[in-house]
Amino acid sequence: MLLSTETNSIIKRFGEEKSFEMLRQAGFDACDYSFYDNVAEVLGDSYMENAKKTKALLQKAGLLCNQAHAPFDLAEGEPFDISCRHYNAVVRSIEYAAYIGATNIIVHLICTADRADLYQYNLAYYRSLEPYGRKFGIKIAVENDFERRAGQILPVLNDPAAFSSLIEELDSEWIVGCIDIGHAAMFRDPAEFISKANPSVIRALHVHDNDLHEDLHLFPMTGNINWHALCDALKKANYTGDITFEALKSFAKIPNELIFDTLIYLASMGRYIINQIGA
């Protein structure tokens, strides 16, 4: 079980080389490479040249890339074809992530104008991406999510039965599930989500905390999630994937001079969680 964290919050401050070195020195085994916010820069026409540079810097730092996060600009109605700029960015991120060593890449669902269409629409979306996962040798991870509509926060595949069902129906070794702990906590006890989901589809996590209402992306144990119950549920589910933090908003007000110490603190939390799971 590797300990990992997203890269967006530090690469934008320090660049790749220093960020990878800091993560490794702070105690992380790996990183979840973020393709959002810098899509145009990283996934342009020279994207594979960028991937080669990223891979070399990871190797220099002695840091693995266990997973990645695809961009999420694609909207309902845009074609599932590389002629579409937003779809092409997702495909390029799949190839890039596989090249730098990621086992999984998280690809967000697409929200639909009619919520009744969401399940079938996303079946078609992930089916269109499955051949790229197969081609490049990387698993595409479906994540439970949410949307904001008419002043309300509404669940998007945040029911463990529907979450499991969609992945089962896709029926491919190249499509797996990533449970986002913070997203689950906005609608139910995340420990309950884990216990009711099909354990065989849970291959990845996005780990962060919140107040059980908003998507705050806080460090674990700084919000209202019951971490004892969560770790116990992961242990009972025989979870063998990695622990990957996505606590990016907790970094927002921390000055650059304290980021490395903060990473050490976060890595210590990660080791504690791993020990509680018993992995």
Express each pLDDT in 176-212 by its tens digit: 999 999 999 999 999 999 999 999 999 999 999 999 9
The total of structural domains in the chain comes to: 1
* Residues 6+ away with beta carbon under 8 Å from 272: none
Mean pLDDT, to the nearest integer, of 11-26?
A: 97
Assign 279 a pLDDT band (cuts: 50, 70, 90).
low
Average pLDDT, the chain: 97
28-54 average pLDDT score:
94
Looking at the predicted structure, is the pLDDT value of residue 40 above 90? no
Give the least confident one: 39-48, 157-166, 232-241. 39-48
Q: Which domain holds residue 155?
A: 3-277
pLDDT band for position 247 (cuts 50, 70, 90): very high
CATH number for the domain spanning 153: value is 3.20.20.150
How far is Cα 218 from Cα 192, in angstroms, rounded to an integer? 20
124 Cβ contact partners less than 8 Å away, ≥ 6 residues apart:
80
